[in-house]
């Protein structure tokens, strides 16, 4: 199959390094007739050795995240258009393939989900209408839903105040917006907490197949309290059972997570984003820091901007928006007020941050298969037990 004349073959999503993290990857037992599989360099006009090296590095990383153990040689399989997968009705579709040498398992990657019954049977976790979601999908969706709902209700309340005398309405509005801003910061904190919990469970409880590098943290582990008294007596003279291991892992996750929740905001942000190799936009980072510091001034300094807060932010003044085109300064000694337009801007920025982080985590950590109806339904959480609690089916 000579495609050297197909000038745009390298432009196909299957062969673009930036699209490789979004491949659907399946395992299959077994593909033994491999003579029809071509080497990637025979199929793809890579144009330069650097492009080809970058592409193959992305492919290997994606397959490793899916569970491939790292051995075997990659090849390309071509499916004719009448196989009815993908949207190329004359060109057909391409698949990445590698056969694991130690057990013969084949791993197959495709741009579009493969609808074949035997694939689904061997990948039983894939629902019939399955879609892939990141490990933080539910946390991100809940966060976005909560802050948008809060902004909507706040806007409605502000509009309702227009019927009151001006002075009274202004006082109520200012107090309402101060409270709403505090609620928004609490939602951001909860979002970081929930995401870090998912990352901890992935690393410590699920084998860390995505090779997340947790940053150094300070926590007090309490192994003696992980296993309930009844189980501890049962395990006294025996090797740790699966139940004991489960409690130990959950206990470690729980202790680390409890410590994380009491870290300063900036430390929380760094521990989560650095571990996941997520680069937060500098403008968003400054906006977050501003709102957290202003909230601290409200809580601990009577609602007055402090010199220390400005120094910590590295600025001489804070700016808050009063319209889409205009902002006002807040300097040391000023009374803090949050115009509705500032909170609207903050919410929209946080929605963008959640969406960007969710997209990043879809490629950084192996995503999960769920039914499309679950994704389109009401917010839900993937985890059914909190760290340190006993699963319902444990006896």
Could you give the CA distance from residue 148 to residue 348 in angstroms, rounded to a whole number? 8
Q: Round the average pLDDT of the chain to a whole number and report it.
A: 83
pLDDT in tens, 102-122: 678 899 999 888 878 888 777
pLDDT of residue 319: 96
Q: Judge whether residue 229 has pLDDT over 70.
A: no
pLDDT of residue 174: 94
Could you give the CA distance from residue 6 to residue 3 in angstroms, rounded to a whole number? 5
Instruction: Report the pLDDT averaged over residues 12-23.
Output: 81
**Residues 78 and 94 sit within 8 Å (Cβ to Cβ):** yes
Sign of CA dihedral 356, 361, 367, 369: negative
pLDDT in tens, 230-248: 554 444 445 555 666 666 7
- In three-state secondary structure terms, 361 is helix
Domain ranges of the chain: 9-126, 137-376
Q: Judge whether residue 300 has pLDDT over 90.
A: yes
DSSP 11: G
DSSP 335: B
**Residues 72 and 35 sit within 8 Å (Cβ to Cβ):** no
**Residues 210 and 365 sit within 8 Å (Cβ to Cβ):** yes
Helix (H) / strand (E) element for 71: namely none
Could you give the CA distance from residue 73 to residue 128 in angstroms, rounded to a whole number? 30
pLDDT of residue 9: 47
pLDDT in tens, 146-186: 999 999 999 999 999 988 888 888 999 999 999 999 999 99
- Among 41-45, 94-98, 115-119, the range with the most confident prediction by mean pLDDT is 94-98
**Residues 85 and 112 sit within 8 Å (Cβ to Cβ):** yes
- In three-state secondary structure terms, 331 is coil
Instruction: Report the pLDDT averaged over residues 285-309.
Output: 97
* Core vs surface per residue 352-362: b (16+ CB within 10 A) or e: ebbebbbebbb
pLDDT of residue 243: 64
CA angle at residue 53 from 52 to 58, to 5 degrees?
100
CA angle at residue 198 from 24 to 244, to 5 degrees?
110
Could you give the CA distance from residue 243 to residue 394 in angstroms, rounded to a whole number? 7
**Residues 215 and 271 sit within 8 Å (Cβ to Cβ):** yes
Could you give the CA distance from residue 306 to residue 327 in angstroms, rounded to a whole number? 19
Could you give the CA distance from residue 144 to residue 184 in angstroms, rounded to a whole number? 11
């Amino acid at each position: 199959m000579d495609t050297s004349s197909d000038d745009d073959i390298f432009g196909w999503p299957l062969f673009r390094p930036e699209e490789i993290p979004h491949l659907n990857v399946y395992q299959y037992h077994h593909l033994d007739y491999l003579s029809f599989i071509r080497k990637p360099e025979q199929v793809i006009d890579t144009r330069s050795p650097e492009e080809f090296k970058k592409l193959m590095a992305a492919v290997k990383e994606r397959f490793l995240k899916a569970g491939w153990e790292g051995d075997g040689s990659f090849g390309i399989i071509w499916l004719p258009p009448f196989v009815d997968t993908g949207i190329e009705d004359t060109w057909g579709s391409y698949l990445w393939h590698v056969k694991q040498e130690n057990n013969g398992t084949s791993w197959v990657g495709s741009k579009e989900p493969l609808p074949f019954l035997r694939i689904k049977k061997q990948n039983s976790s894939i629902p019939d209408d399955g879609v892939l979601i990141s490990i933080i999908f539910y946390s991100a969706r809940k966060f976005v839903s909560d802050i948008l709902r809060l902004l909507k209700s706040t806007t409605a309340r502000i509009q309702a105040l227009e019927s009151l005398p001006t002075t009274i309405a202004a006082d109520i509005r200012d107090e309402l917006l101060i409270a709403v801003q505090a609620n928004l910061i609490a939602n951001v904190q909860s979002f970081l907490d929930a995401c870090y919990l998912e990352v901890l469970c992935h690393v410590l409880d699920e084998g860390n197949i995505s090779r997340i590098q947790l940053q150094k943290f300070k926590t007090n582990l309490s192994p003696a309290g992980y296993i309930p008294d009844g189980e501890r007596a049962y395990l006294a003279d025996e090797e740790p059972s699966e139940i004991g291991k489960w409690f130990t892992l959950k206990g470690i996750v729980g202790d680390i997570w409890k410590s994380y929740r009491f870290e300063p905001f900036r430390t929380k942000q760094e521990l989560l984003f650095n571990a996941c190799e997520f680069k937060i936009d500098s403008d968003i980072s400054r906006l977050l820091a501003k709102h957290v510091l202003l909230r601290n001034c409200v809580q601990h300094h009577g609602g007055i901007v402090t010199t220390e807060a400005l120094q910590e932010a590295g600025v001489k003044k804070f700016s808050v928006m009063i319209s889409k085109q205009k902002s006002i300064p807040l300097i040391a000694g000023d009374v803090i007020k949050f115009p509705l337009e500032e909170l609207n801007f903050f919410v929209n920025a946080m929605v963008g941050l959640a969406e960007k982080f969710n997209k990043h985590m879809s490629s950084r950590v192996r995503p999960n298969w769920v039914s499309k109806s679950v994704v389109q339904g009401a917010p839900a959480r993937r985890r059914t037990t909190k760290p340190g609690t006993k699963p319902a089916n444990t006896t």
